[in-house]
Chains A and B, each alone.
Chain A
Amino acid sequence: MIPFEYRRADDVSAAVDTVARNPTASFLGGGTNLVDHLKLGVATPEHLVDVSRLPLDDIEPGPDGGLRIGATARNSDTAADPDVRSRYPVLAEALLSGASGQLRNLATVGGNLLQRTRCAYFQDVTTPCNKREPGTGCSALEGYQRYHAILGASRHCVATHPSDMAVAMVALDATVHVQGPNGSRSLPAEELHRLPGDEPERDTVLEHGELITAVELPPLPFAANSAYRKVRDRASYAFALVSVAAALDVDDAGTVRDVRIAFGGLAHKPWRAHRAEAALRGGPATDDRAARAAEAELENAEPLAGNAFKIPMARGALTATLRRLSPLPTTR
């Protein structure tokens, strides 16, 4: 850990200004990820601008009838919000499946989106890692790969994004609001995180100094019928091997009118499963069709030696999730 200067931000534009002007400055949310990285030497900012107490923690109806969640809302508060629970249960479930009660009490929406990979090599500065130190090589390529990607990876990095919350937001077509030195912009949550390509050091499309101010969920009535399934190595307090966020709209005949699916644990970003969605629309949500939809999505998967199990696991997780959301008894 290097010595650093800590400052609590008083307002959004001052915070953005301070960080934007100083390449060695970082925003600090709840600190549950960044402070670990300070201790481990993974992050070495010299200035921390604490944004966690900015007045950005409201959760309120959005202008179009959706829900606007402030960037500093704590994960526990977001999960407990009555609107989130009733209108977007997938988000509440995703949040509650992450970390521990203590961590969720501290963690913020902005920090959760921008938490970094849990790749064990990334977190150990004595090992080569392109994401931490571009050009040093990727230790995971021939190493420990249980938590690594099977979709969209590159030979420079095979890490996954660890957030559960983000998977739900991507499934829900959320919008991320950002304020930067040149004003504010909005982007789909699906486009926030990027694939590693040959720049694995960049997790997202944000520029230095851009502050996430809110995440907006669109009004999506059938999201009331949504769920999150997280498959992990212990029953609680573990990152996903594979996770599924899904919302399902079926008509009285049991035909899928619409569906939203995103996977976690498979890629460098939350993986919106457009192909699986297309494969499911217009027919019944049977186990069989769910499995085939998953296979369509995973057709281009390139598992590593240590994580081929993620393909059947993702297929099973999707099947189980849709079964839970289906009103009809399904065939096995």
Chain B
Amino acid sequence: MTRSIERVAAVGTAPERVDGRAKVAGKAPYAYEHPVERPAYAHPIQATIAAGRVRGIDTARALAVDGVHTVLTPDNAPPLRRGQDAELEILQAPDVAFRGQIIGCVVADTPEAARHAADLVAVDYERRDHDVTLASDRPDLYRPGEVSHEADTEDGDVDAALAGAAARVEAEYRTARNHNNPLEPHTTVAVWDADGLTLYDSTQGVHSLRSAVAEVFDLDESRIRVLAPYVGGGFGSKGTAHAHVVLAALAAKRMSGRPVKLALTRQQTFTLAGYRTPTVQRVALGADTDGRIDALAVDVVEQTSRVKAFAEQTALPSRTMYAAPHRRTTHRMAALDVPVTSWMRAPGVCPGMFGPEVAMDELAERCGLDPIELRLRNEPDRDPETGKPYSTRNLAECLRGGARRFGWDARPAAPRQTRQGEWWIGTGVASSTYPVHHAPGSAARIERRADGRYHVGVGAVDIGTGAWTVLGQIAADALGVDREDVVVTVGDTALPFASVAGGSSGTTNWGSAIVAAAHGFRARFGDDDPPAGSEHTESAPENPDTERFAMHAFGAQFAEVHVSADTGEIRVPRLLGVFAAGRIVNPRLARSQFLGGMTMGLSMALHEEGVMDERLGMVVNHDLAEYHVATNADVPSVEAEWIDEHDPHVNPMGTKGIGEIGIVGTAAAVANAAYHATGVRVRELPVTADRFLTA
């Protein structure tokens, strides 16, 4: 077991964000706003074909525009080191691998001139037939190599068990292509000087971004500094370095010493910042007459770009959710001429809990069981995947507690029973889960300064989650001082190494580092009043419990759905989530994470779909007027609760990570409620009005 914090005083309280006031007062500089001397502005030029190569680029008209300094193209761009990450190795070759790929860049005195000139660049292409069609019967589907998990798992004899099952569900479910759209766009300010490169970037990880940039520019990491004190959301799209960061640095390199600012437009975000692959999920469940699942299979087909393989781990959650002696999960990928797929809030787990959790609803109906009862009957004693005990697993309590809060029992068992005026009314439930991720190596520095306060430095990034605030609470308790006596600094590679803000692991990794550093600090300098200048840096130790236990957060989500009998319009007047996610460090900020996740899950359920035009090889609805995310009016009431969960194994704080679990399961709960309202089973997201209409 890890050594936990001894005193819990600041942890568990609900202070406001330490950065809140500066943000609402407009005093928190986001990446693009960092003042630099005489910046020039870069505007990317993007390919308008989906496959082929650039035969020639005519930049004459662009260069003639007032204020334009240079046009970078594959012919003249500074060389990068190649062979590592093709997404980042831009302008090194004339090949076009997807529509929207960066094939050049204008650098000018103003953003307007750069954008105007970019429109004047004429590109001559040699086209190749492109292929952007995701289908589960493609002959060229392949099994991805192992990333963090195996692509396929198999226990027992699934097919035989299915054939013999008393109740069976076998169906295909689909999730749509989803695009992360943080409010703060992806922006980079790049400054080269004699010491190397400084980047102000809207990123989820200053250190991970630095490694990626060091790699392509073949620079020692010590010569790059990345700063990201304030970030306006990322949702995974700022978790890995994307091409525009390299472009800004390339442009600044060409401008010999003059800083360059680059901001992606919203439209560009749809092709250059990653997105969630659409998925096709073939789910099979077989159960006995009591609803005990005997066989479970989840076979996933999804896409990746040809430029860079990214395997969404969609079948992952099914490996741990429910007990079943016979089980199979597989992933197959189609490599297509599409933009790079990447992380989006709860990668893998979020889409992967749609098909199976709707299938559970279908199985419950087949078994004549309440969907909650079905889930309770299939609670495993140990993690079905690893055979290890759970450090804590409180799904059952979330389901039961949520049912009470929500008024679940009043619900008629059969679908299409309740009508109010033109509206059919129904309720639905689904489970949520998210693994507790640990990443090694995060460190924290603690320094007593002349102001009497303890200054804690960690290169973490607060992407709007409240991490900055929460780390101060953890540091205060770990040091045994008041929160007011702690000053936390984040978002800078000049600070000790921190893992990326992703995988809901920030508090685990950075908090563990802070606790280790605080304990080390106290061991060195004693408990009372160490002199100014006392300083100690320490990394989070490895947690041996991660080998002994399966560690996951769980939750249950409940939705009430109304569907118009006249127009098919669907509304979700009520959403409730109950979570078991370890200790909640700051209820105010935690609630906003859960609510944000659930709202995004609702958005995925009802709205979000990047529509691929296969002839053009592009997503056509590439702005926020046409790609819908939920508005306030779509979310009249969303509530999040949690149970008091004590987990001594996960980390010294007892926290499990809360940034992503809120988006997991929401879409299934909504689809299940829509079925309960109307009797129409929708197995494909988003759930839109037309699915409830018949000619």
Contact = CB atoms under 8 A, between A and B. Distances in A.
Nearest to B690: A309
B605 to A, nearest CB: 11
Contacts of B618: 124, 126-127
A120 B119 CA distance: 19
16 contacts: A41-B119, A124-B622, A126-B48, A231-B567, A231-B569, A231-B689, A233-B606, A233-B628, A233-B689, A234-B630, A235-B631, A313-B690, A319-B566, A320-B564, A320-B566, A320-B567
A124 B618 CA distance: 11
B73 to A, nearest CB: 18
B89 interface: no
Contacts of A236: 631-634
Interface string B15-48: 0000000000000000000000000000000001
B376 interface: no
A235 B634 contact: yes
B378 interface: no
B422 interface: yes
A3 B116 contact: yes
Interface in B618-632: 618, 620-623, 625-626, 628, 630-632
Closest 5 pairs between A and B when the two form their complex, measured CB to CB: A316-B566, A309-B690, A236-B633, A235-B633, A320-B566
Interface stretch (B132-140, B365-373, B609-617, B640-648): B609-617
A1 interface: yes
B115 A308 contact: no
A123 B565 CA distance: 34
A187 interface: no
Interface residues of A, number: 39
Interface in A242-257: 242
A169 interface: no
A119 to B, nearest CB: 9
Interface string B118-132: 010000000000000
Nearest to A120: B620
A235 B607 CA distance: 10
Interface string A209-233: 0000000000000000000010111
User: Looking at chain A's contact residues, is the secondary structure mostly helix, strand, loop, or mixed?
Assistant: loop
B625 A118 contact: yes
A142 B615 CA distance: 9
Contacts of A144: 611, 613, 620-621
B695 A312 contact: yes
A309 B119 CA distance: 38
Contact of B116 (A1, A242, A312): A1
Contacts of B613: 139, 143-144
A242 B688 CA distance: 14
A234 B606 contact: yes
Contacts of B688: 233
A126 B49 CA distance: 9
A234 B631 contact: yes
B568 interface: yes
Contact of B633 (A121, A127, A234): A234
B269 to A, nearest CB: 15
Max count, chain B CB within 10 A of own CB: residue among A41, A118, A235: A235
B620 A311 contact: no
Interface of A: 1-3, 39, 41, 118, 120-121, 123-124, 126-127, 139, 142-144, 146, 229, 231-239, 241-242, 308-309, 311-313, 316-317, 319-320, 323
Interface string B656-690: 00000000000000000000000000000000111
B694 interface: yes
A311 B693 CA distance: 9
B567 A1 contact: no
Contacts of B611: 144, 146
B67 to A, nearest CB: 11
Contacts of B292: none
A242 B631 CA distance: 19
B484 interface: no
B620 A124 contact: yes
A127 B616 contact: yes
B607 A233 contact: yes
A1 B568 CA distance: 40
A120 B618 CA distance: 11
A127 B615 CA distance: 11
Contacts of A323: 422
B615 A316 contact: no
B567 A316 contact: yes
A238 B112 contact: no
Contacts of B422: 320, 323
B571 interface: yes
Given A234-B606, A234-B633, A309 B615 contact: no
A233 B627 CA distance: 10
B214 to A, nearest CB: 34
B266 to A, nearest CB: 10
A309 B621 contact: no
Given A1-B115, A235-B634, A308 B695 contact: yes
A236 B634 CA distance: 7
Max count, chain B CB within 10 A of own CB: residue among A120, A144, A317: A120
A121 B620 contact: yes
Contacts of B569: 231-232
